[in-house]
Amino acid sequence: MNIKVNELNYSYVNNPIFDSINLEFSKNKFHGILGPNGCGKTTLLKTILKLLKVNQDSIYINNEDILDIERYSLAKKISYVEQNSTQLPHISVRDYINLSRYLYNDYNKETNETINNIISLLKIEKLELKFIDELSGGELQKVIIARALSQETKILILDEPTANLDPLHQVEIMNLLSNLVEEKQITIITTLHDINLALSYCDNVVLINKDQIIQGPTKEVINKTNIKNYFNLNSHFIKNPFTDKDYVILNQ
Amino acid sequence: MNLNKNRNKLIIIFLIILGIILVTLSITKGSVKIPIKEVIAILFNQDSVSKSHKLIILELRIPRTISAIMVGMSLAISGAVFQTLFKNPLTEPYLLGISSGAALGVAIASVFGFVNIIGGIWGTFSFAFVFAILTALIIFTLAGKNRSSLTILLLSGLAINFFLSALNSLLLYFNKDKLENIIYWQMGSFNLSSYEKIIVTMPIMIILIIVLLSKTKELDVLLLSDDTATSIGLDVKKQRIRLLLITTLLTSICVGLAGVIGFIGLIIPHIVKLLFGVKHKNVLPLSLYLGAIFTLLCDILSRTLISNTEIPIGIITALFGAPFFLYILRKTKVNAL
């Protein structure tokens, strides 16, 4: 499933955030969205998720205008992992994952194959009976991703999934997402703050800042000029000895 | 897990026995004590019974018991739904002023004689509902996007309650002859229960409760943030308005039947969630049952604590409820405020 953003305009309280932007998220790829705070990364995700109102002909999913897609039908196409989910009910991990089966017939069924498979795919069997408000940051993020996956969509949208995580868990989550793109053939769109995580994991990136936006393969888009333009930082590129990919050192 | 299931079975058996005892007490106890043998004789229509006792049981205590059960169920389930709707453990129709809104509607209708225009019971219930809906709308607008902020919601409820009680006092001040009537609505009582009221209200209450019971899945999803719930496929706005309308209607019927009875919607869902978790498949039916038996207990206390005097039931539930409110407030994480 691919997503096309076509001449998208969006304003918040009369402040234009997007002015006729065009983007395309091709299927089965890992897409990163980067930019300084307040540039509209989350807003972009929310317009694609139809959580914010957009004009007709602004966003297409597989050539279908999202305004013509019913909510329940959209929920079978795109799932969402919010940033810093603080609103956590006191329920078990399994019950929490089950909430994403809302539209399916197996909601609340004790033996749910979909949920079993996702729990073993993410290796979170040990957490199954714990309560979600008792989990550590890294565990919780995995469980939230498991919940989104149990919606069985071909597109997964995440808003800063590595925020507030220690380096080990950041790498763990990014590896997990990267494997999902390959093994489950899904499209992932995620906002990120860490340019190096984008360099290591994303196939394509979008850079946003104020009135400028650029999209393309990670290696091409993340370069010295763009880092200066979009983040106002100087940069020096070296090879990451572990992945043989680019690694960037930043300086003001 | 097995241990939990056994524990739950024991609790449920205990609750069923408690329910039977309370229904029996509700019919036998009161200013006139009627032994259970005689009650059975009355129920089976035997000739040997005293006429006055028969009247008390059939015309007063049975309708009273049925009303208490219906009101208790409705208030408890409404409280459970409210807590999920507002994502807030300290809400219920009474604390947000919705019951007081309904009571003001009833008071205005009875003082200005509007009841007679629409016609008796229906007039009372229509006024209760219209005023309850208005109050709910005000609360919803005041709390705005901060519905889950405890402080804003509770302070809005407090302000609304102050405002409504000022209006109620104004009505009292100028209509001292109807004092008793208005006080009755404000403090709650099952004293005026009748078959006539039950026949009018019970079918509506049962339908509304069944509709709520069919919404357990939607309510579960509403436990999540609005954006996540929407992304899962729930039309959050539509469901929230529907559920708010249903619970407000249920609450106003309760006020029309028995006046303002607070805290049942707060205490009961909390105890249920503590014992059986937050999933609505359990919370709603168990709240119905516990709400019914708790209300029965409070009603029995209201007419037996002081002999020959009936204390308004709203006072009894507040005596239980206010300390319970403080207990939950202390337990609620400070950052939630």
* Average pLDDT along chain B: 88
Q: Does the structure show a pLDDT above 90 at A13?
A: no
**Minimal-distance CA residue of chain A relative to B231:** A75
pLDDT in tens, B202-216: 999 999 999 999 999
When pLDDT is averaged across residues B305-315 and rounded to a whole number, the result is 89
pLDDT of residue B88: 83
The rounded distance, in Å, linking the Cα atoms of A185 and A203 is: 14
pLDDT in tens, A176-221: 999 999 998 999 999 999 999 999 999 999 999 988 999 999 999 9
Q: Does the structure show a pLDDT above 70 at B1?
A: no
Report the share of chain B in percent with pLDDT over 90. 48
* Chain B environment of A89 (Cβ under 8 Å): 223-224, 278
Q: pLDDT tier at B334 (50, 70, 90 boundaries)?
A: very low
- Residue B299 identity (one-letter amino acid): D
When pLDDT is averaged across residues B327-336 and rounded to a whole number, the result is 67
pLDDT in tens, A65-93: 999 999 999 999 999 999 876 678 889 99
* Chain B environment of A49 (Cβ under 8 Å): 227, 230-231
The size of the A-B interface in CB pairs under 8 A is 62
Q: Determine which of A23-27, A142-146, A202-206, B155-159 has the lowest per-residue pLDDT on average.
A: B155-159
Which of B231, B234, B270, B278 is the best residue to mutate to test the A interface, defined by the most A CB atoms within 10 Å of its own CB?
Answer: B231
Q: Does the structure show a pLDDT above 90 at B77?
A: yes
- Cα–Cα nearest to B156, from B138, B134, B129: B138
pLDDT in tens, B153-173: 888 888 898 999 889 888 888
Residue B130 burial (CB < 10 Å; 0-12/13-18/19+)? middle
* Chain A environment of B214 (Cβ under 8 Å): none
The overall longest dimension of chain A from CA atoms, in Å, is 55
- Cα–Cα nearest to B199, from B129, B121, B268, B252: B121
**Minimal-distance CA residue of chain A relative to B273:** A90
Report the share of chain B in percent with pLDDT over 70. 93
| Cβ within 8 Å of B, A 100-139 | 100, 102-103, 107-108
When pLDDT is averaged across residues A232-243 and rounded to a whole number, the result is 92
Could you tell me where the DSSP H helices lie in chain B?
2-28, 36-43, 51-55, 62-85, 98-111, 114-118, 120-143, 150-174, 179-187, 195-213, 216-222, 226-232, 236-258, 264-276, 280-304, 313-331
What backbone phi and psi angles, to 5 degrees, belong to A4?
-120, 125
Q: Is A40 left (phi over 0), alpha (psi -120 to 50) or beta?
A: left
Q: Does the structure show a pLDDT above 90 at A32?
A: yes
Q: Does the structure show a pLDDT above 90 at B292?
A: yes
Lookup: tokens for B130 = 């219209």
Cβ atoms A96, A147 nearer than 8 A: yes
pTM of the model: 0.91
pLDDT in tens, B240-263: 999 999 999 999 999 989 999 999
Residue position matching structure tokens 């089976």: B44
Record: contact B227-A80, CB cut-off 8 A:
yes
Cβ atoms B75, B291 nearer than 8 A: yes
**Minimal-distance CA residue of chain A relative to B232:** A75
Higher-confidence residue of B225 and B336: namely B225
pLDDT of residue A42: 94
B177 contacts chain A (CB < 8 A): no
C-beta atoms surrounding A214 within 10 Å: 15
What backbone phi and psi angles, to 5 degrees, belong to B173?
-60, -40
* Chain A environment of B225 (Cβ under 8 Å): 82, 85, 87
Q: Which of B87, B227, B273 sits opposite A51 (nearest CB)?
A: B227
Record: contact A72-B233, CB cut-off 8 A:
yes
When pLDDT is averaged across residues A128-142 and rounded to a whole number, the result is 91
CB under 8 Å to A81, separation ≥6 — which residues?
A: A141, A144, A145, A148, A156, A157, A158, A159, A161
Q: Which of A91, A102, A151 sits opposite B217 (nearest CB)?
A: A102
**Minimal-distance CA residue of chain B relative to A149:** B232
Report the share of chain A in percent with pLDDT over 90. 81
Q: Which of A75, A89, A95 sits opposite B231 (nearest CB)?
A: A75
Count of all residues that appear for chain A in the document: 252
* Element housing A98 (H / E): helix A93-98
When pLDDT is averaged across residues B312-319 and rounded to a whole number, the result is 93
